[in-house]
Amino acid sequence: MSKVLKYGMVGGGPGALIGDAHRRSINLDGKAQLVAGCFSRTYEKTLQMGKELGIDEDRLYENFEEMARKEAEREDGIDFVCIVTPNNSHYDACKAFLEAGIHVSCDKPLTTTLEDALELERLAKEKDLLFLVTYTYSGHVTAKNIREMIAAGEIGEVRTVMGEYPQGWLAEEDVTGNKQAEWRIDPNLSGKTNSLGDLGTHIENTVYQMTGLKVKRVLSKMEKIVPNRKLDDNSVVLVEYDNGASGVYWTSQIAIGHDNGLRIRIYGSKGAISWFQEEPEKIFLSKLDGSNLEIHRGHGCIYEKAARYQRLPSGHSEGWFEAMSNLYSSFIDCLVAKAEGTFDESMIDYPTIVDGIDGVKFIEACLASQEKGNVWVDM
Ligand SMILES: NC(=O)c1ccc[n+]([C@@H]2O[C@H](COP(=O)([O-])OP(=O)(O)OC[C@H]3O[C@@H](n4cnc5c(N)ncnc54)[C@H](O)[C@@H]3O)[C@@H](O)[C@H]2O)c1
């Protein structure tokens, strides 16, 4: 295997959001090159996108089944695939590539049912393939540094967590013409949830990556506030973690004034940490003695395990693209090591299929809590 890997993409056609972001993020480090794609369900759009990206026409496919089969047959076939389609097609697309023996990166939420998520895990294990789930925010250097700070005991034992992810972009009923909005509010494409699956899984995973705490049980109130919405657009979830600590998560798409307001506040027995993804270069640390510290990425106070992902000195902003690149950087290093026979699981520093499954379990537990009349439900 060459050290510059070859990858393919499913989804990410003209005007798509996250596929473009994946491509740009992978390009940052030059560790993999895009050589194949099925960017849309419409072949003309795949051809158009492929031409823009300079991909040979014989590697542009009409559907992902054909792509998985033909790429697996090629001597120079792709080393991994990125699945960046709406939620409803993640399972079938991931399955096709796993069955063909190709490593997978898939965006969140992993699948629309737990059964499907567990089947993908079984397949990945059977085929001995690596699986990245792109929970972007856990890739920030500062998010990784919070993980190190908490593991080192800087805030003591975690007692309670506040996680919020408010957006205001779906506050109006009519979303006609907004491609990303149209599928998110449609149960056939989005699955059984909207805001909770789209945003709540980010909170669930970011908190887990930072604290190491797994959610034990949840009590949710999932609301459909905008008239004629079929799926939740505002949700509040009470959470209990495996160490007995509590949490409150809020996700919203009707919170006018907010863009991508993922904010995590973690309170421990010796201190507290606050982090806001729209200002991802900073961590706020409060201590019992009343002191407050603003920690900036790029300085010597960042732990080595986080600092190794930095590309720029302090004050030269790094952000969302870099966070996504950091996930791919570790994933691709692991793929290269696997091919060279030097891989071991301790090298993994990205969210895996287990994180993807936890996200789906979180969604299903919240749905069950809502259906049963807002009661506690075990994960
Ligand atoms: N990690 C993050 O921070 C983040 C951010 C946004 C979206 N997402 C996730 O990424 C996924 C895509 O979201 P988006 O906002 O980019 O959607 P989008 O509508 O912008 O793009 C989806 C693309 O997939 C293509 N597509 C649909 N079905 C296909 C199929 N069967 N075969 C090939 N192409 C197909 C569409 O033509 C489109 O180009 C969703 O699962 C979403 O939850 C993750």
Mutate to test the pocket of ligand 1, among 9, 18, 95 (most ligand atoms within 8 A of CB): 18
Spatial separation of the C-alpha atoms in residues 130 and 121, rounded to whole Å: 10
CA of 39 to the centre of ligand 1 (A): 10
Mutate to test the pocket of ligand 1, among 107, 136, 180 (most ligand atoms within 8 A of CB): 107
Q: Of all protein residues, whose CA lies closest to atom 37 belonging to ligand 1?
A: 40
**Residue 263 — φ and ψ, nearest 5°?**
-135, 130
- State the average pLDDT for the chain: 97
**Mean pLDDT of the region 149-163:** 98
Q: Of all protein residues, whose CA lies closest to atom 7 belonging to ligand 1?
A: 18
Going by C-beta distance under 8 Å and a sequence separation of 6 or more, which residues neighbour residue 222?
Answer: 193, 196, 232, 235, 366, 367, 370
Cα 305 to Cα 125, 158, 234, 272, 347, distances in angstroms = 27, 21, 36, 21, 11
- For ligand 1, residues with CB inside 6 Å are 10-13, 16-19, 38-41, 64, 84-87, 89, 107-108, 134, 136, 179-180, 183, 198
User: Which of 19-28, 186-195, 364-373 comes out lowest in average pLDDT?
Assistant: 186-195
Question: Is the model's pLDDT at 3 over the cut of 90?
Answer: no
CA of 158 to the centre of ligand 1 (A): 35
Question: Is the model's pLDDT at 276 over the cut of 80?
Answer: yes
Taking the CA of residue 64 as reference, the ligand 1 atom at the shortest distance is 32
pLDDT in tens, 71-106: 999 999 999 999 999 999 999 999 999 999 999 999
**Mean pLDDT of the region 200-218:** 98
Instruction: Give me 231's structure tokens.
Output: 């799926």
In sequence order, which ranges of the chain are alpha helices (DSSP H)? Answer: 18-29, 43-53, 64-73, 90-99, 114-127, 141-151, 179-184, 187-190, 195, 201-211, 304-307, 320-340, 353-371
Spatial separation of the C-alpha atoms in residues 355 and 297, rounded to whole Å: 26
The residue type of 313 is P
The residue type of 31 is K
Q: What is the pLDDT of residue 356?
A: 98
Spatial separation of the C-alpha atoms in residues 335 and 352, rounded to whole Å: 13
Long-range contact set of residues 84-87: C-beta below 8 Å, sequence gap at least 24: 84/9, 84/10, 84/11, 84/12, 84/16, 84/18, 84/19, 84/22, 85/10, 85/11, 86/11, 86/183, 86/184, 86/189, 86/190, 87/111, 87/112, 87/189, 87/190, 87/191, 87/197
Q: Of all protein residues, whose CA lies closest to atom 23 belonging to ligand 1?
A: 11
CA of 296 to the centre of ligand 1 (A): 33
pTM of the model: 0.96
**Mean pLDDT of the region 143-163:** 98
Question: Is the model's pLDDT at 160 over the cut of 70?
Answer: yes
Q: Is residue 83 classed as helix, strand or coil in its secondary structure?
A: strand
Question: Is the model's pLDDT at 2 over the cut of 70?
Answer: no
Mutate to test the pocket of ligand 1, among 85, 134, 355 (most ligand atoms within 8 A of CB): 85
**Mean pLDDT of the region 15-44:** 97
**Mean pLDDT of the region 309-330:** 96
The DSSP letter of residue 214 is P
In 3D space, the residue among 226, 261, 234 whose CA is nearest the CA of residue 250 turns out to be 234
Domains defined along the chain, listed by start: 5-129 (3.40.50.720), 140-313+359-378 (3.30.360.10)
Spatial separation of the C-alpha atoms in residues 39 and 47, rounded to whole Å: 8
